[in-house]
Structure 1
């Protein structure tokens, strides 16, 4: 399936219910208008040579204290992107049938916003990332792809802009996705937080 059709499955879990009902007393952080995607979406800039494909091994975002292992994830029967297993809230999932982080194209990584027990998940603070924040992905080929955040946006689940999120500039791009927005008992989270990032260095 083409990445343009992906939508992260935001499963209604006990953790999400506890989170909203008072264990933490607040919703996950939402990005502000200042973090929105600028126009043009893909400005000219320094080009970093794309890397050959290699599986990601670990993801690090120092600004929000994330240092997490990665695992391949796929699609469910409806064609939606599966998050990592609910019992592994510290794991991030890479869409393994798509682009490898650092290679030409748009790589997609997903993580939980909260846990079945109501604690914050690995991507709980994703909505707080500022433009310019660094995301590092260590790969199986022992290289580290370094990305800079260009924008953080929140989208309604029913109006998710797949082409905007999964489209690319022809350069190595990265998207981090988690659940977010409002929450209801019947449907769970009502949206997705999406981080847009571009490869800026390789170590």
Structure 2
């Protein structure tokens, strides 16, 4: 019973913090302050972070989320993208912009890097105590908060991409499915 109360309280706290962090991420990318994120603004952010992105890749990130085809991402589109990716269990939802948003949400001190300690809160709220260390290991290669391990945007995106590729490769497909061996019952 106590575990259920803990999980419910953690979920309420997570949703409140997540909503604030999501708005902060949108506002950070919306450098023009017009309520929309376009390829120019996204590329500007990448340049500030020292991340080299091709113009076509940046435009594709916008296109994957742009539901009304205005070549911009509005706040409702941004929220929808975030929640689709956040709740996606298949791993097939386009995640390139989502991964950038994850970086911004984790970079609480706006240093341009994400530390193990900064990521810990979001990962704990999302996955709980049981899976926290494995998630930190997956992204940072360590779960030690004293490691001093910080990831730049490039390193963070690479780490998330590798994790997502690993997840997709581990999925059972029609080609990789192996039926269990038949059970042979011995007659008495």
TM-score range, shorter chain: under 0.3
Output the TM-score relative to the length of structure 2: 0.26
Bigger share in strand: 1
Bigger share in helix: 2
Q: For CA contacts below 8 A with separation 6 or more, give which structure has more relative contact order.
A: 1
For the pair shown, which has the larger CA radius of gyration, 1 or 2?
Answer: 2
Output the TM-score relative to the length of structure 1: 0.25
